[in-house]
Amino acid sequence: MGKKLVLTEKPSVANDIARVLGQFTNHKEYLEGENYIITWALGHLVTLAEPEDYEKRLKSWRLNLLPIIPENFFLKPIPGAEKRLEVIRKLATRKEVEGLVNACDAGREGELIFRYIYEFLELDKPVWRLWLSSMTREAIVQAFRELKVAEEYELLAQAARSRSEGDWLVGINGTRAFTTRYKILLSVGRVQTPTLAILVHREREIQQFQPVPYFEVFATFSLPQGHYTGKWHNGEDRLFEREKAQGIIDRVAGKRGVVVHFTEQKTAEAHPLLYDLTELQREANRLFGYSAQRTLDLAQRLYEHYKLITYPRTSSRYLSNDLLGQVEKSLAMLDRCGFHDFVASITALEHLSDRRIFDRSKVSDHHAIIPTGEEIAWEELPEAEKKIMDLVVRRFISVFYPEAIWMHRAIKTEVEGEKFVSKSKVLLEAGWRKLYRSEEDQEEYLPRVEEGTEVGVERVWMEKKETKAPPRYTEATLLSAMEGAGRFVEDEELREILKESGIGTPATRAAIIERLIEVGYVEREGKTLFPTPKGMELIHLVESIPVSELASPQLTGEWEKKLNLIERGEFSRENFMKEIRDLSIEIVEKVKTQEVGDVRAKMNSAVGNCPLCAAPVYEGKKSFFCSRWKEGCSFSVWKKIAGKTLTRRQVQKLLTEKRTGRIAGFRSRQGKRFAASLVLGEDGKVVFDFTREIEPQSVDGEKK
């Protein structure tokens, strides 16, 4: 009897499988047992070849060599992968190996990793697919019992190849076209560019926004059972002229009013849906300030290393009915692991008909993220992993709880013809919110009053406010925008289609955000994301050519939709690739005809003025420096100070206001993290200020 070679995506998964199957000898580069040999990739070992691998002359970035459209795509190893590929080749070609098992991650990208390796090594043995949604012993054993032939995943592989080749065509041609035309490195892509455009469009709104002052009028009313406050409302609740607001105050001050309307209504709030990756990332960013990438890394660790949650890179928020046993096992585990008071009365079977939990039609490759049922040793989990695990556990338990019941009360009061509205919303029955009571700010009940009741005006006043610009995106709100990209599209039919796709996938959105930061188009400060001048100008350039879809969610949304259709056999890979080739040609041709202008200057505009000589300060690779440095001005601010990389905006604030706000993430020489403000002295030196509790300390910049 022959053996099967199992290829995993990571060594940790190989070791987990070997422990479950048992009786394996460790040969360092692979594990061998009676029926299986297990080895691993290290993520992507093989990638699409570079243009110069097709023709040497294409190594030169020249506009007249574009577009580059390979008739057939070649593969090549990533740097340093040759040794690992040779191990896989030798094992796969051993005589006793009858075939291979693709045990890479169960999804589009895992399929691509295996297929590229198999194709590059020119293997021809049969292939089976191991599809894992969790890393527990039971899940691994069951997955090996249910090995499928690779042909059943051919459509998934086609979608994966199409995504990879499509991104190559648009990325290579777009990046080389814009870079060579404008003489500055400009990275563009079908996913990262529309994501950047969302941030840029919001920044333009903020920059163009002009605040408008307005006034709101409030009054406190008294009656025997207490008092309450109302807000003036007569069709609208804002007054843009102080005189009108004062006139209302003068009319009602010290007068008697009457309750003209009172309502009391209970409303039910259904439990939230289970987590998919994007919703988990949103919550972790909102509550803890974690980046999308950090949340993904933590969730992946809880999945792979601790075996505590199911496959995290999922886009589904539902479970299929056949997971009832898994659900009951998880509830039993939580009963023992700190959540007895919450789960003791839950019987999962009673909830099988709840379509907000169990709905097979809304589960494709992977179901929602839930606990696996493995015992949780909370004290052994690092703090960050503990926080993510707690989110998953509480969301999982909450879906088996009844609705939360709210009591809404509203009072309309009239005084001298002026109307005031009072509202309160109080949690009457916690239901599923019992899991989240610490988050809930309780309002006070409005008193229950009869219509026609007279009230006295105790106090009346106005508050001056200003209209506000829309807020900048956080990672949480950007993830929502990427997921719901249809709302940025004017075409109604396409907007409906985009509800199912959006920009990128749950598994790739974090990497897209990190890529935008890496190439200098976006800066992150705390939770907030800011486009840089380079990012702003790139979107201006892209939108100034007639192929404006490159900066629109419409393009990537259509493509994600079509990739999903390819997976289901409802759209052809050939048609998809033709559309991408045509678009790549169109981008190049239209960039060639564009006016160049002074793009470089716009992308690296001055950060501020030098405190020593008043000359402009510019951003360099390692520091922000005075433009008169050749004339002897020594002023500069290192980009990296005490392990923390400063953003352009922070340095702008330092130059204009002589101090920044409080910045977290610095690291002392002893490795301890701390927060401080940066202060600019008269001599141009930058020092730490620890909220003025101690004397400012000097700052050491980092050149690397």
Compute the residue count for the chain.
704
The 3-class secondary structure across 533-561, one letter per residue, is: HHHHHHHHHHHHCCCHHHHCHHHHHHHHH
Catalytic residue among 36, 182, 311, 318: 311
Single-letter code of the amino acid located at 655? L
Helix H or strand E segment including 609: strand 608-609
Name which of 432, 458, 469, 467 is nearest 346 in CA terms: 432
The number of CA neighbours under 13 Å toward the Cβ of 339 is: 27
Q: Which residues pair with 474 in a beta bridge?
A: 528
**Would you call 311 a catalytic residue per the annotation?**
yes
How many angstroms separate the CA atoms of 420 and 232, rounded?
Answer: 4
Q: Which residue has the tokens 């990756």?
A: 277
Neighbours of 147 (CB within 10 A): 15
Q: What are phi and psi of 413, to 5 degrees?
A: -120, 140
Contact status, residue 102 vs residue 129, Cβ threshold 8 Å: yes
3-state SS class at 104 = coil
**DSSP-assigned letter for residue 42:** -
3-state SS class at 152 = helix
Per-residue tokens: 294: 């950090």
**DSSP-assigned letter for residue 61:** -
Neighbours of 265 (CB within 10 A): 9
Contact status, residue 612 vs residue 633, Cβ threshold 8 Å: yes
Neighbours of 457 (CB within 10 A): 21
Contacts 24+ apart (CB under 8 A), 20-25: 20/137, 20/140, 20/141, 21/140, 21/144
Concatenated DSSP letters for 303-365?
Answer: HHTS--B--SS-----B-GGGHHHHHHHHHHHHHTT-HHHHTT--GGGGTT-TTTB-GGG-SS
How many angstroms separate the CA atoms of 88 and 313, rounded?
Answer: 26
How many angstroms separate the CA atoms of 653 and 676, rounded?
Answer: 15
Q: Is the bond into 546 cis (omega within 30 degrees of 0)?
A: no
How many angstroms separate the CA atoms of 393 and 574, rounded?
Answer: 44
How many angstroms separate the CA atoms of 107 and 131, rounded?
Answer: 9
Q: Which residues pair with 4 in a beta bridge?
A: 36, 99
Residues with active-site annotation: 311
